[in-house]
Chains A and B, each alone.
Chain A
Amino acid sequence: MSYGKMPVNGHTGGSRYPVKTMLKIIDVHKNYAVGPTEVKVLKGISMEVGKGELLAVIGASGSGKSTLMHMIGLLEQPTSGDYFIEGEKISYDNDRVLSTIRNRKIGFVFQQYHLLPRLTALDNVGVPLVYRGMREPEIKEKSMVFLKKVEMEDRARHRPNEMSGGQQQRVAVARALVGNPSIVLADEPTGALDTRTGQEIMNLFRKLNEEEGITIIVITHDHKIAAQCRRQVEMVDGVIVQSSESRVQS
Chain B
Amino acid sequence: MILKANITEALRSLVSAKQRTILALIGIVIGIGSVIGMVSIGSIVQNEALKQFKDMGVDIATVRKDSGEKGSEMALKDILGLKGRGDVTEVAPYLTSGTEYGSGSKKMFMEQMGVTESFFDLNKIVMKRGRRITDLDAYRYFCVIGTETEQFLNSAGTPDPIGSRIALGDRIYTIVGVMGAVSEGGMRPYGINRSVITHITTGTRSFQSKEINTFMVRLAGLKAAPEVKAEFQDYFEKKSNGLRVSVNTAEELIASMKKQMQLFSLLLGAIGSIALIVGGIGVMNVMLISVTERRKEIGLRRALGAQQMDIQAQFIIESVTLCLAGGIIGIFLGIGVSLIFAKLSKWEFLVSYGSIALGFGVATAVGIFFGYYPARQAARLDPIKALRS
Q: Which residues in A have some Cβ–Cβ distance to B below 8 Å?
A: 70, 73, 75-76, 95-96, 99-100, 102-104, 108, 110, 114, 116, 118-119, 127-128, 130-136, 175, 179
Contacts and interface: CB of A to CB of B under 8 A. Distances in A.
B303 interface: yes
A99 B307 contact: yes
B13 interface: yes
Given A130-B1, A135-B1, A110 B387 contact: yes
Contact of B5 (A75, A76, A130): A130
A179 B304 CA distance: 10
B371 to A, nearest CB: 19
A73 B303 contact: yes
Contacts of A127: 301, 304
Given A95-B307, A114-B296, A118-B12, A75 B302 contact: yes
A132 B4 contact: no
B297 A133 contact: no
Interface residues of B, number: 23
B159 interface: no
B305 A100 contact: yes
A127 B1 CA distance: 12
A118 B303 CA distance: 18
A92 to B, nearest CB: 13
Contacts of A131: 2, 301, 304-307, 310
Given A130-B2, A130-B5, A133-B1, A116 B297 contact: yes
Overall SS of chain B's interface: helix
B47 to A, nearest CB: 47
B255 interface: no
B306 A118 contact: no
B384 A70 contact: yes
B19 to A, nearest CB: 16
B309 interface: yes
Contacts of A104: 305
Q: Which 8 A-B pairs have the closest CB atoms?
A: A103-B305, A99-B307, A131-B305, A128-B304, A114-B300, A130-B5, A75-B383, A102-B305
A47 to B, nearest CB: 20
Contacts of B301: 127, 131
Interface string B346-374: 00000000000000000000000000000
Given A75-B302, A127-B301, A114 B307 contact: no
B309 A96 contact: yes
Contacts of B103: none
Nearest to B294: A116
Contact of A114 (B12, B16, B306, B387): B387
Given A70-B384, A99-B307, A133-B1, 12 more contacts: A75-B303, A75-B383, A75-B384, A75-B387, A96-B309, A108-B303, A114-B387, A118-B12, A131-B304, A131-B305, A133-B2, A136-B5
A205 B271 CA distance: 63
A137 B296 CA distance: 27
B389 to A, nearest CB: 11
Contacts of B297: 116
Interface string B258-292: 00000000000000000000000000000000000
Contacts of B383: 75
24 contacts: A70-B384, A75-B303, A76-B384, A95-B307, A99-B305, A99-B307, A102-B305, A103-B304, A103-B305, A103-B306, A108-B303, A114-B387, A116-B300, A118-B12, A119-B12, A127-B304, A128-B304, A130-B1, A131-B2, A131-B304, A131-B307, A131-B310, A135-B1, A179-B305
